[in-house]
Every structure is written in structure tokens, then in C-alpha cells.
Amino acid sequence: MILSIISQIIVAMAINTGIPLKTVESVDLNRYAGKWYEIASFPQRFQKGCHCTFAEYTVTDKGYVKVFNSCRRDSVSGKLSSITGKAFPVKGSNNSKLKVQFFWPFRGNYWIIELDENYSYAVVGDPGRNYLWILSRTKTMDDATYQMLLQRITEKGFDVTRLNKTVQTCPD
């Protein structure tokens, strides 16, 4: 209850005062490449009914990152659903900001706002604080790390009460 109230106050302050969203200083895209499991996210229409969501990133020699998103629809044994897109690094951001495109010509913000030094977890959001994903290299995340990320995300002006944990109990 108290976390919910504090979170809502911080979000209101961040949005009302126009506090810019800070990203990590830099991202090594080659280290960032690979498979990431979604631990939690803000609900989005395009992810409705998704279980066992993951993303796989591949650096290309053409200046963009290939993005492959996948999930199981409606249950852990549901139909596999996937989409492939591209992510373009934003000039001057040291790869901490990308523009993701799944349908031409539309591109969305993909800002890396938290990143473990070993690239074992990441948090991705957008400057309007409407999108948020907590990602991990493993299907689960220990509670201490998750709680630490919730605190940091709250301090960045996100309403963490909107987060939904992602079911990751699908067989491989």
C-alpha cells in the first residue's frame, strides 16, 4: 500500500515536472545480443495473453539489431507467437537508446534504463513512462534483485504497481 502511494506520487512528480528519463551511459550491443527473458512488464495490447515471453537480439553488419520476440499465447502450452523487427541505435546515445521497428514506418523508443555490469539483467522503458520491461538472461530473477530494480524504477518515475510478472514455466 505504501509503495503504491509513493510510486504514484513519484510518477506524478516526474510527469508533471518533465523530469527526463535517464538511460545507462553506454551499451555494448555485442554483449547485449542474445536471449532475454521477460520477468515483468507493463501490460500492452500487443502482448495480451502472452506467457513465456522472450526476445532475442542479433547485431547485424548493416547498422541495426535484428529483434525476434516470441511468446506462448493464452497458456504455457499455447500456440507459439512471434514477430521479427529491427532496432536502430540513436546517434549520440552510446547505444543506450534505440528505435525499434516492427511495422514500417513506425518506430518506438527502446531506452535501456538499467543494465547489470555483467549484462545479466536489463530494464527497458520509454521517456513517456508508458512502456516498461524487466529482462533477465534467465527465466527467473532472485527477489533481492527484483526488489532493487523496483526501487530504481520507481525513482525514475515509473508506476511499478502497473507491472505484471511474466509466467516463465513453459517447457523448453
Mean pLDDT, rounded, of the chain? 89
List all residues 6 or more positions away from 63 whose beta carbon is below 8 Å from its beta carbon.
Answer: 88, 89
pLDDT of residue 13: 47
Contact (CB, 8 A) for 57 and 66: yes
Which architecture characterizes domain 2-165 according to CATH? Answer: Beta Barrel (2.40)
8-37 pLDDT per residue, tens: 444 444 444 478 999 999 999 999 999 999
81-98 pLDDT per residue, tens: 899 999 999 999 999 999
pLDDT of residue 27: 98
Ranges of the chain with pLDDT below 50: 1, 3-17
C-alpha dist (Å) from residue 3 to 31, 81, 127 = 34, 34, 22
Boundaries of every domain in the chain: 2-165
Rounded to 5°, the CA angle 48-32-10 comes to 60
